[in-house]
Amino acid sequence: MFAIQDYRSGIKPVFCPGCGDYGVLSAITKAFADLQLDPDNTVVVSGIGCSSSMPHDFKCYGIHGIHGRALPIAEGVKLANSELNVVVVGGDGDGYGIGLQHLIHAARRNINITYIIMDNEIYGLTTGQASPTSSFGQKTKSTPFGVIEKPINPMSLLIASGASYVARGFSGEPMHLAELIKNGIKHKGFSVIDVESPCVSFNKLNTFEWARRVVYKIEGHDPKDLSKAMEKAFEFELNPAKLSIGLLYESDRKTYEELEVELKGNKVLAKQDMLGADDILSFLDEYNV
Amino acid sequence: MDDITIRIAGANGDGIESAARILAKAIGKNGFHVFGFRSYQSIIRGGSVWFQVRASNKKLYSIGNRIDILVSIDIDGIRNNTEMLDENSVVIYDSKLGNLDKMLNELTKGKRLKSFGIPILDNAIKVGGSIYRNTYIIGLIGKIMGLSPDSIHSTIKEVFAKKPDVIPNNINAADAGYTAESDLRFKIEVNERKGDKYLLTGNDAIAIGAAAAGCKFYAAYPMTPASTILEWFAAHENHGVMYKQPEDEITAINMTIGAASAGVRAMCGTSGGGFSLMVEALGLAGMLEVPIVIIESQRGGPSTGLPTKTEQGDLLFVTHASQGDFPRVVIAPRNIEECFYEMSNAFNIAERYQCPVIVLIDMFLSEHIETINVDPSSIKIDRGLLVDKPKNDFKRYEITESGISPRSIPGTKGLAFVAPSDEHDEYGNLASDVAAGTPEGIEIRKRMHAKRMRKLDTMLKDGAIKMPLVINENADIFMVTFGSATNSCIEAVEILKGKGISAGVISFSYMFPMHTEKVKSLLSGKRLVDVECNYSAQLSKLIKMYAGIEIKDAILKYDGEQITSREISENMYKIINQK
Ligand SMILES: Cc1ncc(C[n+]2csc(CCOP(=O)(O)OP(=O)(O)O)c2C)c(N)n1
Ligand SMILES: [Mg+2]
């Protein structure tokens, strides 16, 4: 039986007082405990950013990688040992900016990993430049005349890319968020939870007050209905006063690991013996003279 | 005679390559050592290509400096390939092209070599169609060389094992070529079979060598000349090595780091352009102390450069790429056998010293074929300091004298830790945030950085890093070289000997780190000429930087073709005589 504290390193998080990421940290911890994940069998992988420091807050295995590359690292871990619980955490810059290509391809693969993106619509660690989800017109340190790019729509992008569990949460609703994360981890396939997680230091637009005003919980929605899910995914883009939280889309399709020939029959790469001289001789046989 | 060189030329898409491989295999079955190489361009169809196969009863080091028999199925194949022809060469062409004697005489400036028009295409059509043209040529050459018909038949059966219905026609085509009227004879005497067992390319040897070294994961984005490594792994999926073609090279190396972190031997491969994309993650492997192997097969640079041509222009790049200092090892195998055996050394070093190892090859080494012998049972695996006993106070990055710390892998009970790309303490906790700049933070940075870097000293002391190979240690003058240029230097030694020059070779295969003092004393007091395939004498610079020896003379080649023993010996002769 693992208790909440069995998951936490006890290291003081680096987040500013009042940062949204505290709520995400407790929600992830609660989800781990609810699912009774073995910390020694769990790997938390991240890139770089304030939010990406989170692996240090857990008492699990962790890889705190480089900016934008958390997913490829996590995919490598999962392919090598598909018995591990692999959870990726990071920011909007990490996931939707520098690492965007990896997000789309991980979604296509439907690899059985859970990705929690703490979306504060800003680059926090580098002290407040615009991110791919910053609002159109938003003034930031790097956009004194306002953002002139349309923000990424993570929900529609993820659904279109093939992610099989697409949800949005709010760090101000940690219990609700913990449920989303828990179900995401239980889900077989690539699950993504985009979390509205306000930055109290650098984003004066997407504040907790703003979020409380626009966020509402999805009810009576069928997440298996692709066109309804897409409709929900576009809602905020069309009406910035409505940011839905909850499960938008879920589909049931084979995971990457299930389709990978080297893992057929629940094989675990890391537990297999290395090839022996006889195997190599049979490869060499093709080249006999 | 004891040495024969055949070049088959034609258009891209004519199947020259597979024909030449069949020929090479059949020659190999007759007990000769075979060395071959193809030249092609970065287009899919059209363009003039050739494949050269050289056979001998002695060990060969190159595709040779001249051609005995040129076979061409088109006019361009003749026009583009006369440079290596001489008075003793023979040209065979399809008589459909008309009588080419006059053209050849002009092209070869009156060398008066023999040439024959043979109805290659017509004879192939008689057997079953124009696609049998190549096999007809194989039969014809087999006859000229005195190969046993049996060796040709069994090669055809092996090569087409998966397409049995094409075997009879191919055998008929080969027999038709074999019985063609021709009294040409270029017969090599076989002294004794040298014991070569396999006909491999460098990339075949890299892939099989990696599998033999226990590699379980290979990730690569296609890029010539490394692509045939991924093709090998793809063709052997479901045999115990997982292969992934991800969205780019950044992904390839980061996946490799993830897989290696989870405890499997993992590798990625690319050419210089893809390696450029991998550079940030190379440093990540250095910082996390994750053992990975990276294959870098060089082609002509810069930028897209010469995609199908060879060069050794990435040496300084791979030995110094990525920000900051961290331990890495760069190994440049010299030949196909070394491609096979150095893979297990690369993985053993990566795991023992918990650092990235780069295996630096090049287009010529990747793609040329050679008959070799390797023995997989001689391979030893050393997985380094992997721990699995639960420990209360586990320090993944423990500061040790050797610099090597105990490594646990996810899933192991009681040994969890976080591997951070930020500077960290012995547990993996950040030393980069609140601690940075504090007296404790400064101290841990100094000690942790020095710990990592100490691994370089440890591997040098342990004997993991090989010294250069020295040939003819008492020679008057030495060619200093590395990697695949070595073979041509070895061949040049013989040519120079014939001119009364006592030359030797000092060849590096372990490029970094360098045995500073030992290399310095090895090179001191010797007359040295640097030989390598790049513009700026990168090996010379590396030697000057780490061993403090300046090599003034250099023979450099950067036209995309492999440097030849003739070019080396002629230039050596000039260098010797100008002083
Ligand atoms: C290759 C690279 N480019 C830039 C940086 C600098 N950098 C560090 S974090 C970051 C952005 C962080 O934003 P986000 O991912 O949204 O995380 P947050 O801090 O907001 O949680 C940047 C640009 C880096 N570390 N590496
Ligand atoms: Mg952010």
Tell me the CATH number for domain B198-378: 3.40.50.970
| pLDDT range class, residue B268, cuts 50, 70, 90 | very high
User: Which whole number is the average pLDDT over B495-508?
Assistant: 97
Q: Which pLDDT belongs to residue B196?
A: 83
Q: Which pLDDT belongs to residue B186?
A: 81
- Asked whether the predicted pLDDT for residue B194 surpasses 80, the reply is no
Fold classified for B469-578: Rossmann fold (3.40.50)
Give the C-alpha distances (Å, rounded to integers) separating B77 from B97, B105, B135, B438, B578: 12, 15, 18, 71, 39
**Residue B471: burial class (beta carbons within 10 Å; 0-12, 13-18, 19+):** middle
A220/A175 Cα distance (integer angstroms)? 19
Question: Could you tell me the sign of the dihedral formed by the alpha carbons of A139, A140, A143, A147, in that order?
Answer: negative
Check pocket membership of A96 for ligand 1, CB cut-off 6 A. no
List the structure tokens of B202: 């460098």
Confirm whether B198-378 and B469-578 share one CATH topology: yes
Q: Which pLDDT belongs to residue B1?
A: 72
Domains detected in chain A: 4-286 (3.40.50.970)
Average pLDDT score, chain A: 97
Q: Which pLDDT belongs to residue B228?
A: 97
User: How many CB atoms neighbour CB A55 within 10 A?
Assistant: 26
CATH architecture assignment, domain B3-178: 3-Layer(aba) Sandwich (3.40)
pLDDT digit string, tens, across residues A75-95: 999 999 999 999 999 999 999
Q: Which pLDDT belongs to residue B16?
A: 85
Contact A84, A41 (CB under 8 A): yes
| pLDDT range class, residue B166, cuts 50, 70, 90 | very high
Could you tell me the pTM of the whole model?
A: 0.97
pLDDT digit string, tens, across residues A89-121: 999 999 999 999 999 999 999 999 999 999 999
> How large is the greatest C-alpha to C-alpha distance in chain A, in angstroms?
76
B214 closest CB neighbour out of A102, A275, A283: A275
Neighbours of ion ligand 2 (CB under 5 A): A 91-93, 120, 124
Q: Which pLDDT belongs to residue B184?
A: 78
| pLDDT range class, residue B192, cuts 50, 70, 90 | low
Q: Which pLDDT belongs to residue B101?
A: 87
The residues pairing with B56 across neighbouring beta strands, listed in sequence order, are B3, B33
B477/B504 Cα distance (integer angstroms)? 6
pLDDT digit string, tens, across residues B437-448: 899 999 999 999
Closest residue (by CA) to atom 10 of ligand 1? A49
Average pLDDT score, chain B: 94
Percent of chain B predicted with pLDDT > 90: 85
* Helix (H/G/I), strand (E/B), else coil: B362: strand
| Shortest distance, CA B469 to any CA of chain A (angstroms) | 27
A269/A131 Cα distance (integer angstroms)? 38
Q: Which residues, 6 or more positions from A209, have their beta carbon under 8 angstroms from its beta carbon?
A: none
| Shortest distance, CA B450 to any CA of chain A (angstroms) | 21
| pLDDT range class, residue A128, cuts 50, 70, 90 | very high
Rg (CA), chain A: 20
How do the domains of chain B map onto residue ranges? 3-178, 198-378, 385-464, 469-578
Q: Which pLDDT belongs to residue B418?
A: 98
Percent of chain A predicted with pLDDT > 70: 100
Q: Which pLDDT belongs to residue B17?
A: 84
Q: Which pLDDT belongs to residue B299?
A: 98
Look up the ipTM and state it: 0.98
Check pocket membership of A131 for ligand 1, CB cut-off 6 A. yes
Give the C-alpha distances (Å, rounded to integers) separating A234 from A137, A149, A237, A243, B373: 19, 17, 5, 10, 63
Q: Which pLDDT belongs to residue B44?
A: 66
* B280 CA: nearest ligand 1 atom: 1
A76 closest CB neighbour out of B199, B254, B415: B254
Q: Which pLDDT belongs to residue B193?
A: 57
Check pocket membership of A206 for ligand 1, CB cut-off 6 A. no
Q: Which pLDDT belongs to residue B39?
A: 85
